[in-house]
Amino acid sequence: MPFPRALAFLALATIALSAHSAAQGTYQTPEDFLREVFAGDPPEPSKLWIDEKLKPDIRAILEHDLDVLRLRYWGKDGRTAWILEEIGKERPITTGIVVDGGTIERIKVLVFRESRGWEVRYPFFTDQFTGATLGTGQQLDRDIDGISGATLSVRALTKLARLALLLHAHSDFADGKQ
């Protein structure tokens, strides 16, 4: 391979690797997300036990078991915040989701570990979930537009949105309980 050609190849490889590494990362820590959601004063975490009644609904949403006995969440005044993860293609995507009165108030990608599909972190995508509720068959009450090249990441976030709504309904803060 002539030298200029090898140099061009090396330059392209460097650009591809830097784009890949730029997509991965921690965009916001879960602690900072919770401080933001609860105006600097997050409540103590609560626990939701994943009992036999809840497991089939979770499995229907995620298409696999959750593999935990309980989940931590934060709640106050009918709002809950969830830090949840789902695999995109190969790696987990950590997401913060706020549910208020049975509707999604906010969804934010906190940590992205995949090599592609990182576009799901931007508001043009996440804003579609605002106001969504859980409808028939544990589905969202609206369609979520996909992103070309990010299908698995879109699926992961959609599943997590559905899961957060389901979990909120079983939390101590659903329906004005607290």
Say yes or no to pLDDT of 22 above 90: no
Average pLDDT, whole number, for the chain? 89
Residue 52 lies in a domain: yes
Residue 171 placed within a domain: yes
Residue for token pair 């804003």? 127
| Number of domains the chain is built from | 1
pLDDT computed for residue 156 by the predictor: 97
**What is the band of 175 on the pLDDT scale with cuts at 50, 70, 90?**
confident
| Per-residue model confidence as pLDDT tens digits over 31-51 | 999 999 999 999 999 999 999
Name the residue with tokens 């009918």: 78
Within a domain: residue 57?
Answer: yes
Q: Is 4's pLDDT higher than 80?
A: no
Give tens-digit pLDDT for 124-150: 999 999 999 999 889 999 999 999 889
10 falls within a domain: no
Is residue 106 in some structural domain? yes
Residue 88 covered by a domain: yes
Q: Which domain holds residue 160?
A: 26-176
Residue 115 maps to a domain: yes
pLDDT over 70 at 1, yes or no: no
